[in-house]
Structure 1
Amino acid sequence: MNHSNKSFLKGALLLSTLLGSLVLASCGAPDNLDVSQQLAMPNPAAAPEGGKAETSNAPDSSQPTNKVPQSSPQLVKTAEISLLVNSIDEALEESSKIVQQQQGDVLGLQDDKPQNSNRRETASMQIRVPQNKLDPTLNALAQLGIVQRRHLTAEDVSTQLVDFQARLRNLRQTESSLLKIMERSGSISDVLKVAQELSNVRQSIEQIDAQLKSLTNRVAYSTITLQLEAAVATPTSRQPLGSRMGNTWNNATQSVTDFTTNLVRLLIWLVAYSPYLVVLGVVSWLIYTQRKKHHPHPTIPSSKLEE
């Protein structure tokens, strides 16, 4: 009897424990979720020691990204490179080949030949290449000799390009509006005013369009200034004695010819102006004779001569 009572008490205690657990679980769950939703909810990650749960560092895909793609800067690049080479002529020839390979152009060339053996030969070349070919061109030119100086500058003209494009767009809209106004009927004075304004707008469009094209071309093509200097001075060849004597004779005969030519030209000028010279001579003689008559030379008395 006592054993049956103990078994009954244990069963009642176990049943009350289960019921209490169910009641507590139902109270802890949200009111608006049913049992299936509670079972479908994922279990939170276990909190580490210290009682703080770990948070995930993964980005929230539900939040919109406000990243705006950045356009590349528009740069006007200018480069200078100075080389010390063994032969100026060979370096110029190789430079022209490099420019042609890089789809560029030679804008200018200057070759200074020394007049004496104490000076070195120098040369300079202005080169224009596409901007994406700038670095390969500089590297290829640097292989022609010893690099003495290398300089590169870049100017950001993005703001200027955007400004020109905005102004050009606004002017074209103004032009379109003026054309629509001219299509309407109106007085002659109004039409003339609109036509004058349209002419001014079109002139501004042409100017800004030219500036925009020039700036765009400067961005698309880079300029390189190549300076070349010979490593050693070029020796001047001494002419043989016969050649020098022949040159001296030629210079002397040329000098005589020039002197004779100038003398003949002078005589021709004198002959051409001879009538005027004759008139001037006659007038001068008449003036002299008149002055001589009015101012005769004083005569010395004979008595004074005898003394």
Structure 2
Amino acid sequence: MKVSIKLPNKSALVMSALLGGVIFTSCASVPQQSKQQLSQSTGGRALNNQAAPADSAGSVALKSEAAPVPQSRPQLIKKAAMTVIVNSVDQSINAVSKIINNKQGDLIGLNERQPTQDNARHTASIMLRVPQNQLDSTLDELAKLGTVENRNITAEDVSNQLVDFQARLTNLRRTEANLQKIMDRSGSVRDVLSVAKELSNVRQSIEQINAQLKNLQNQVAYSSITLNLEAAVSSSSPQRGLGLQIQETWNNSSHSVGEFTVGLLKLAIWLMVYSPYFLILAAAIYGLNRWRRNSQPVRPIPPVENYDG
């Protein structure tokens, strides 16, 4: 059996050889400089990638060593007290109201005492509340009202209490969520009632702790100030008129007569109530005296002699 194989045409072979040479020469015509730049860029990137972890690790280590441990700022409840001697208490009270409004604070209480006796001072006690960051500036403004007699500031650190309340609140809320999941499941009426009771107790504890936490946070955010104002000059009471004095004397005397009359009436009532006892006591005394007289022996009376003159 003869197998015939067709050989390719010479012209096709020549054309394929020419196309291969063109392709080869075009690939070989790439500049060597670009290859070198490419190799340098890739090598530089590799070196940078290799050096970067070491540098980053070193910088992280240095930062971790140099960075200080962050400390939370202490939560302080600040209270201040100040006594200021002023020329006019009334004007100072108005000035205090303006200062508090400018500092975005609140006036909690005011106790003003007018002089009722001679040589008595006009005084006033004011309770204030201002933001904690405005405490020092507020005290400086209040000190300008007059002469500061005394000034003190106390601070109480409640950081541990706040952290404790927050931790307890977090645990209780987690417990509330777990109990709520149990409530969502189907079960017997007894189990549901038991879980519902426990859930109610947990929610009550959450409300109490949350209220205490907010109270502490409010005391930390706002500082209280007790301001005592005293007049520099004692005020003397004016002399009252004659008519006013006579009227006051008449009122006092009539009031005294009324009290004396009421006292006599009360005494008469007491005597009437206890009169049986007084009668029994008087009868007993009378009977005792009579018995004593009767029990004494009768002395004979000596005869009278008649003398004839």
Alpha carbons of 1:62 and 1:303: their partners in 2 closer, same or farther (altered >3 Å)? closer
- The match for 2:143 is 142
Alpha carbons of 1:306 and 1:134: their partners in 2 closer, same or farther (altered >3 Å)? farther
- The match for 1:225 is 226
Alpha carbons of 1:184 and 1:223: their partners in 2 closer, same or farther (altered >3 Å)? same
- Measured in 2, the distance between the counterparts of 1:264 and 1:289 equals 29
Q: Helix, strand or coil for the counterpart of 1:232?
A: coil
- Measured in 1, the distance between the counterparts of 2:169 and 2:38 equals 67
How big is each residue's C-alpha offset from its partner over 1:219-266, in whole Å with a ceiling of 9 and x where there is no partner? 221101112222222223233555444433432232112212332344
Letter in 1 for 2:301: S
Matched, 1:207 2:205: no
Alpha carbons of 1:194 and 1:304: their partners in 2 closer, same or farther (altered >3 Å)? farther
Q: Helix, strand or coil for the counterpart of 2:229?
A: strand
Calculate the TM-score normalised by the size of structure 2: 0.64
Q: Helix, strand or coil for the counterpart of 2:237?
A: coil
- The match for 2:26 is none
Matched, 1:300 2:303: no
- Measured in 2, the distance between the counterparts of 1:305 and 1:107 equals 106
Shift of 1:119: 4.6
Alpha carbons of 1:288 and 1:63: their partners in 2 closer, same or farther (altered >3 Å)? same
**8 A Cα contact 2:120 2:236, kept in partner:** no
* Aligned pair partner of 2:40 in 31, 37, 40: 37
Q: Helix, strand or coil for the counterpart of 1:228?
A: strand
Alpha carbons of 1:250 and 1:91: their partners in 2 closer, same or farther (altered >3 Å)? same
**8 A Cα contact 2:80 2:154, kept in partner:** yes
Letter in 2 for 1:206: E
- Measured in 2, the distance between the counterparts of 1:306 and 1:122 equals 97
Count of equivalent residues: 255
**8 A Cα contact 2:135 2:223, kept in partner:** yes
Matched, 1:108 2:109: yes
Alpha carbons of 1:61 and 1:244: their partners in 2 closer, same or farther (altered >3 Å)? farther
Q: Helix, strand or coil for the counterpart of 1:148?
A: strand
Q: Which moved more, 1:103-112 or 1:221-230?
A: 103-112
- The match for 1:169 is 170
Q: Which moved more, 1:246-255 or 1:187-196?
A: 187-196
Q: Helix, strand or coil for the counterpart of 1:303?
A: coil
- The match for 1:255 is 256
Alpha carbons of 1:286 and 1:165: their partners in 2 closer, same or farther (altered >3 Å)? same
**8 A Cα contact 2:81 2:153, kept in partner:** yes
**8 A Cα contact 2:77 2:158, kept in partner:** yes
The within-5 A match list for 1:5-154 is: 37=40, 63-64=59-60, 73-154=74-155
- The match for 1:18 is none
- Measured in 2, the distance between the counterparts of 1:61 and 1:182 equals 51
Alpha carbons of 1:196 and 1:264: their partners in 2 closer, same or farther (altered >3 Å)? same
Q: Helix, strand or coil for the counterpart of 1:144?
A: coil
- The match for 1:157 is 158
Q: Helix, strand or coil for the counterpart of 2:180?
A: helix
Alpha carbons of 1:148 and 1:294: their partners in 2 closer, same or farther (altered >3 Å)? closer
- Measured in 2, the distance between the counterparts of 1:202 and 1:151 equals 41
Gaps of 5+ in 2: 1-35, 45-54
Shift of 1:165: 1.4
Q: Which moved more, 1:85-94 or 1:119-128?
A: 119-128
- Measured in 2, the distance between the counterparts of 1:242 and 1:305 equals 84
What is the identity percentage for the equivalent residue pairs of Structure 1 and Structure 2? 49
Q: Give the superposed CA RMSD.
A: 4.0
Q: Helix, strand or coil for the counterpart of 1:302?
A: coil
- Measured in 2, the distance between the counterparts of 1:235 and 1:76 equals 42
Shift of 1:147: 2.4
Q: Helix, strand or coil for the counterpart of 1:81?
A: strand
- Measured in 2, the distance between the counterparts of 1:305 and 1:151 equals 107
